[in-house]
Chains A and B, each alone.
Chain A
Amino acid sequence: VLKKVFAKLFGVKTERIVPATYHEELEQQNYYLIPILGPFLLFAWLPYIPIDKKLLPEIWIIPYLRLGFSIATAFVLIAYNFKYFRHKSIVLVTFIAGYLVIVGSLIPALANANSAYVGGLCFLIVGLATAPLPLKIHFSLLVIAILTFFGTCYFTNVKFEDKFWIYSKNDLITSFVFSGFFAYVLNNIRKNIYLKNVKIVEQNKTITQQSSDIEKKNIVITDSIEYAKNIQKAILPEEFEIKKHFPDHFILYKPKDIVSGDFYWLHDDGERVLLAVADCTGHGVPGAFMSFMGYNLLENLINTTHKLTPSQILEELNNQILKVLKQKNQNASAKFGMDVAMISFNKQTKFLEFSGAYNPLYIFRGNELIELKADKRSIGSFKREEDVDFVNHQIQLLTGDILYMFTDGYYDQIGGPESKKYFIRNFKELLQTNCGSMLSTQNEIFEETIKNWQGNKNQTDDMLIVGIKI
């Protein structure tokens, strides 16, 4: 409560609205001041009445003047509650101050400039300086006080015979000068605080506006990408299509952002099922662009040329991407491309062919890992003279074999106690440990494991693991 009262008295900005002009600011300060100061002023002069009656019984009017101040204050406190005076607090305070000044000057003059009474006037004059009134009113009140006091003294023939008058006169002059100076300084302080508050409010407004702009932009961008996600979803093979050929399988697909640079692709040519797991350069939107291109090129080349082996597909895909992206410069490395693991699986004979551009194929036969290595050539890079064609691996699969195709996003995830990558050797171990479990269980374990590893870190890259049990 004290803090609030203080804030209101000195115009420090708490949560109140900062007015548009300084005059309105003063209006507001007076509005807060009246209910705080009013009840006190109501009784301020009453204790002096018996003293006046005792000291100056012959000047009967003084107690009435004192009482008049209480009545004036009461009037202001009542008026304060009327709507008409809602924005006239300066007028109300000026009215009280005016009464104080006029009557407060009148009484010591009537009291024959008695030094005790003049002292009271000094106190009043100085106190007046603290009122949050416009400077013009302050100075006017000071002039009125001087005129009233000396005017009354003149008309009532005050002789200034009190031997203490010399002292009181000094006090009075000092009070007037000091009051004017004090009012001026306080007014400046008030004005500065007000201007500072205005600045703060303006800055806050700008910040709020900016952050809401950013938020709006963010929503628009996110919405747009969310929508694009639906398109990307459409190019990924449907769950039932994969299930048709590989009833026991799982796919762990975790884009870093909403859309992904990782994708998988499935094609059934009657005799064989082709399945690719690809990791395009970049993630998010640029990654997704590349994934569309990869998907399209794969679809096209498979429909125009039949019975290609996985290595032939990769070779052709490489040529096509170089052509589309016009990456013909031999000297600089190509900046767009994809790493692909591609298998063809003969549905009848379970004969498997594999070719890999950086992405290998792991086959678990029981606990034994058969690792079909990928070529160290990315799709989309210029083929140099020393480069050989993609190797076409061949293997006869047995029932119960488990195939894993994956991108580097899983084992490159940064996390753990040292903020390190998960590392491919830990990933291999994870596969080894869990290859005996049901594939659906494996999927859960893999998700849980990487989530724990990641902790509160950001996802490093898109993740994709495809597991298939023959």
Chain B
Amino acid sequence: MDSLIIEATEDSPSVMFDVTTNRFSISGESRPENAGKFYTPIIDWLVKFEAVLNSRKQASENINLTFQFKLDYFNSTSAKYLFDVILALKDIVNNGYNIAIEWHYDKRDDDMLEAGEEFSKMVGLKFLFVEL
């Protein structure tokens, strides 16, 4: 399976899903005019990634994934799609894989921290909060 690399634009974040290192990240600002068009391929990729993981189950114990959210801003529509991304991560976790989810936030950005806490609570996944 190929890594998923999407360069950041003025209104969409950069996406780096590196399957060689198993380090995944979404970073930057997210306010695409059409959030569905931006996020659907990302969520589809994660679903496919999970299927690939399951197909080589025997090696699964050794796989440790890191998923970093390093967002400066996201609008309310993006929030709904980010929720779907986290749901996809939850599915992977439910299949017995380890994912360390990091939620990076500016130390002045109470809103961003709160949003991360809220996502973590809603999905029932533990986040590591990284203050910048």
Contact = CB atoms under 8 A, between A and B. Distances in A.
Interface of A: 279, 281-284, 331-335, 337, 339, 376, 378, 381, 408, 411-412, 414, 420-421, 423-426, 460-461
A335 B110 contact: no
B77 interface: yes
A332 B87 contact: yes
Nearest to B108: A423
B73 A421 contact: yes
Given A333-B83, A414-B29, A460-B31, A421 B76 contact: no
A281 B77 contact: yes
Contact of A279 (B73, B76, B81, B84): B76
B80 A335 contact: yes
A332 B39 CA distance: 13
B113 to A, nearest CB: 11
A423 B109 contact: yes
26 contacts: A279-B76, A281-B75, A281-B76, A281-B77, A282-B76, A283-B75, A284-B33, A335-B35, A335-B36, A335-B81, A337-B80, A378-B76, A381-B80, A408-B76, A408-B111, A412-B75, A414-B73, A421-B73, A423-B108, A423-B109, A423-B111, A424-B111, A426-B108, A460-B31, A461-B31, A461-B75
A412 B77 contact: no
Given A376-B118, A460-B31, A425 B80 contact: no
A334 B81 CA distance: 9
Given A421-B72, A424-B111, A425-B108, A282 B77 contact: yes
Interface string B100-114: 000000101111000
Nearest to B10: A458
B106 A420 contact: yes
Q: Which are the 6 A-B pairs with shortest beta-carbon distances? A: A333-B83, A281-B77, A333-B80, A281-B76, A423-B108, A424-B111
A334 B80 contact: yes
Given A411-B111, A425-B110, A333 B84 contact: yes
Interface in B64-107: 72-73, 75-77, 80-81, 83-84, 87, 106
A304 to B, nearest CB: 28
Contacts of A281: 75-77, 80
A281 B87 CA distance: 20
A281 B83 CA distance: 14
Contacts, number: 62
Contacts of A414: 29, 72-73
B84 A339 contact: no
A281 B36 CA distance: 12
A247 to B, nearest CB: 33
A42 to B, nearest CB: 65
A423 B87 contact: no
Contacts of A420: 72, 106, 108
Chain A CB within 10 Å — which of B72, B77, B87, B109 has the most?
B77
B103 to A, nearest CB: 16
A278 to B, nearest CB: 11
A412 B108 contact: no
Given A414-B29, A425-B108, A460-B31, A335 B77 contact: yes
B95 to A, nearest CB: 16
Contacts of B73: 412, 414, 421, 460
A422 to B, nearest CB: 10
Contacts of A426: 108
B83 A421 contact: no
A458 to B, nearest CB: 8
A280 to B, nearest CB: 8
A421 B109 contact: yes
Nearest to B121: A376
Given A283-B75, A335-B35, 9 more contacts: A335-B77, A335-B80, A335-B81, A376-B118, A381-B80, A412-B75, A421-B72, A421-B106, A460-B31
B68 to A, nearest CB: 19
A233 B32 CA distance: 26
B48 to A, nearest CB: 17
A424 B118 CA distance: 17
A407 B109 CA distance: 16
Contacts of B36: 335
A421 B28 CA distance: 12
A282 B35 CA distance: 9
Contacts of A423: 106, 108-111
Contacts of B29: 414
Contacts of B110: 423-425
